[in-house]
Structure 1
Amino acid sequence: MKFKVGLFIFLLLLVGIIITLNIFFQQNYQAEMAAQFNQQQLMIAKTIASSIKTTLKHLEEETRALARLLAFRGLQKNGLPKFISDAFVALIEDIGMNMFVLDEKGAPLFSTKGASFNEDYHRLFEVTRRLKPGAVYFSDNIAGAGQIRLATPIRKEGRFIGSVIVGINMDDLTRKYFYPIKSGKRGYAWMMDSTGTLIYHPTEPEMIGRNIFKANESCYKCHKSFKTEKQILEAKDVGFSTYIAPQGEDKLVAFSKIKISHLSWIICVSIPYSEITASIKNSMRLHSLLVLSIFLATVIGAFVVVVINRERVKAEEKARYMDKIRDYAEELENTVQERTKELKSEKEKLDAIVSSIEAGICTFDEHQRPVWMNRVMHKWLSEERLKDFALSNIHGESSLMNAVCGAIVDNRLIQEVAYLNFGNKQGYFQIAATPLHTPDGQCQILVLIQDVTEMKKAEEQLMQSEKLTALARLSAGVAHEIGNPLTSISSYVQILRDMDFDNFTKDALDTIAKHITRIATIVRQMSSFAKTKAEEIKPFKVKELINSTVDLVKYDNRTKKIEIDVDVPEDLPEITVDGNQMVQVFMNLILNAADAMPEGGRLTIAGRSLNGEIEIAFKDTGQGIDKEYIDRIFDPFFTTKDRGTGLGLAVSYSIVRSFDGNIIVESTPGEGSVFSVRLPAHEA
């Protein structure tokens, strides 16, 4: 009998070993196959990227060469079409493109067959007027016109005589480099740019032009999320990753990045993981059948043994189960005792924290009666106040219970500051109320009350001190400049009201500290407006200053309805300025633009290098400025706003002039304004 039991155990072990080895080898082989396939896909992506980059570079050189030839030949119409066709015939037949040669006034002298000259080409022509000889400007309008466009000026002896504009259809480019690509049976290649906008996709053409950061419901038909695409945008030039489609199927994706001028594209090649592992699964079916056969034989043998030894096995099983139950019961009892001790210890810690914190904490039931309060609340409340103490004594609103219970759905916090008299303690208190659910389903309110009287007094003393020491004319300006960062601080506090406490709280507190530091800097600067003095002048990257300013104002209520587009190149030369003062200038210009667009609009911040200077242009789509006011907007105390002080632009202009710069204003009433800040480029 012992031999049979031993044989049964041996067969079970054998089946277990076979199954384990089968799974182990399958997983290893699948992983190896996936790694090899990833390398192949990566090679395909790099090949496509290299081919596209080579083609566009070649086209750039050909365009530049044509401009030089035309500058040497001149733009006489006689023989011009044949001259250009002979020079570009190979590229036109290979890729298919539109070409325009324009004279110095923008009139077309030559165009390829079927090409139509529109406003986009005219804007490119205006761009070429500002380009240096040999410079080629790239413009992509894939979402709108489905084209990549190159433009270069034709200059003869330094004089602008025309321009060459070449447009490449994305359909022709993708047909040449993407259509032949087939990774397996269901694999394909697709492309997006560095902002996350889809440029080409063979199976989802209607998604071209969509951005992963602005995805709607239709975008999630083929993606559960865009986490992988966002990681690709942040990754290095080449790599590979995986993602899961809504149907639950894993996909492998390899990518390679290309950069041409300011354009940056990402070539991706993806394939379902199941296609790679299909052959392995086929072989696994045979292995599984073999394992199943062995397992069935083992079960049959075990069944025979069980039938023969039924009663004995039942008795042994019963005894074993009883032993296990006793062991489990003892283990459960020990676990309960340990957990009870831990809960008791945690409760003691919590009681100690609640008792030692210098803030009032209390809970109220659904009838607004106090259920519990900590030591501080007992200390603050007099005996007379304690008798009739209720939630209405704090908030004074009978509908607060409904508001708090409704806040459960919105996942928000109710918070306010009020003057209260508790009998033994009175002053200004910050009150935060949040809903709680008891085990029996009732709604209670947890209230945290912090004494901010001293802080309130300190603020009032500071304001009074500033009023006494500041110049009479500049006091309103100080209030104006302090209002901007305080608005951002108020926005961050609002976020804390609307969100659960998490890592974001730390970032918000850091931002508040930045604002407080900046307030002190502004007060010192405004006290001596006539002789603005920089505290720390050193080279700064323009994009870092712009990004820092946008981060400060993006939570300001005035910027909620406007879209801010930042187009500042990374390689723009540095400027030698005081960083805090320039952030102040940029913030004034952004908030002024927001004030000019109360119903919403778009603010475009663009930077460029211009004749040894750096120009940062702030273009809004607001109300514009009347011509009669243009010459006066930089005068101190001149303003057209109901609540303005007239010092924002005056201080900004003074700061920019102190760095040998200038602010230039262009405005059209009803269409918008452009404030261009020009500063000398830093000389290394």
Structure 2
Amino acid sequence: MRLLELRRLFPVRTLRVRLMLTSLLVVALPIAIVGVALEREGRQALRSEKEDKLFALARVLDLELGPGGYDALIADLPTGWTDRAAAIRHLNRKLAPATDRVADAAPGVGVGYYSRRLDAIVTYGPSRDHANTVGLSIPEDHPGRDVMATKVPRAEAGTLVRGPILNAMLPIIRDGEAIGYIWSNEFSSAIEAQASAIDLAVVVASVGGLVVAFGIISVLSRRLSREVGVIVHGLAAMKRDLRRPIPALRDELGEIVEAINGMAKALNDARSLNENILASVADAIVAVDLEGRVTAVNPAAEHLYGVTSAEVIGKPYRSLFPKEARLDSVLLDTLQTGRVHAAVTIDLPRAEQTLRINATSSVLRDGDGKRIGAVVVLKDVSERERLMVQVMRADRLAALGELTAGIAHEVRNPLTSIRGFIQYLDECESLEEWRAYGPLIIRQVDSLNHLVGELLAFGRPQPPRIATVDVPQLIKEMAFLARGKSDARIELACDGSFPTIEADGEALKQALLNLIINAIQAIPDGGTVTVSTRTEGEHVAIVVKDDGVGVAPENLDKVFDPFFSTKPSGTGLGLAMVHRIVDAHGGVITIDSAPGKGTVVEIRLPIVHHDQTPEPVS
């Protein structure tokens, strides 16, 4: 109950109270440290001053004793040192006036002489107070005995002959020997009273400083808290309306307010810009939170789904579709798995028709990178696909026309030759001429047959028969076969760590053999064909390089077209077939060539074969 009452009285969670407590702590801690340091230094300085004063009085008494010491004073005593009591009385009569004079000059101070030879107090001033101590010996553990033994001055605080005192003891040195010691002492109570006065002054000064600091901190914190309150209330208002600026303030807080107002204006402008962009984008955009509830839709999405933003904001994304519809959404998949989808073609069922949609989804994150939802961009490609079908049909018709023209050209030449030979032989009766021209006719027929065979292979492609293929071994076999067709030098530079791949081995053999033979036919005598391999992540590359005549720049775009060939006897179907084989494997073929600098053909194939037929996504 008391704790609750204290919290109610002192709401430490307010900014002003925190500022006051923090400031007081910052101020009080140095004041306390300085106060403690001053108190210690004051006490140390007081003791040092007392010790210096007491040792000064002891040195005055040492001078009063004279250079001869006790021996000079006792020289006129008939009995000398033999009569201890007489010697003590004699020395007391000689030295008591000096000790009384010094003691009277420093009230509260006690001074005296001690004789080591007599082991007795010779005099203790003021005599009126301490005459009864004359003739007494100090205890065995008295620090005065250490002073006489070590010949080192010493100040000691404790309870001695006089009581609790600070005692300064000075050895009396004559001819290198300690003949006694002189003391000068003062009651500890008097010293403690002076030290307490110093402590009181330090405490008063510290408390006064804290009171003044508290007043200043209270005034400043009230002003600062009031100005911070203006900022807090202004920020609360900005949550509802970014167009309401915070009132201007002074000094650094004024700069903070200006910065906040500037950021609010920039944020409002950015929000307006984003809203305008979303409103003007032709593609549909839908965003959802982590629970799958719609958080934003643009006008294009409203038109695509046939809804308004007011109807769907805050509702589950599945509510945009009929309950009986089978839904396999890329947006919800991204939301659940974090997997990004790019340009996925899906079917979007609508009441009047099913639309073909190009969908791209990604994860939404806040400024800290934390996932807050997902967004999908939907593009209606139904009309585009219809136009693409028409374009592809037109392209196929054009290609068919080119193919027909090529076939006609390739077939006409052998037929013309056959017709000419037949006409000639029809009028010829010589059997020798029939034997001479018969093989020529057969070669022309074989040429036609070869052309028809290539056309059949090109026109009826078979799907690849996928198996594990050792590409370096396959390259060695094709290089061996190609060597028999020319005296060109074939060099192999296969990667030793080249992996096996999934491919149609026979189709790859056909493609590689065509490329190597083309390279051999393009080089002059003594040329070199280099076949190399390398691995690039999930793909492998096969490179066929020659130092032959090269290909003219205007012909590079045509080398893979059917019936295009720069060789007099070529059909133009070899590279077209290679391109079709590589494409069936999901690979890419590129060519780089320049006249007189040779040609480089590169095939890139995936290590793992993927079916090229896309799966429908709804």
| TM-score, normalised via structure 2 length | 0.28
Greater Rg, structure 1 or structure 2? Answer: 2
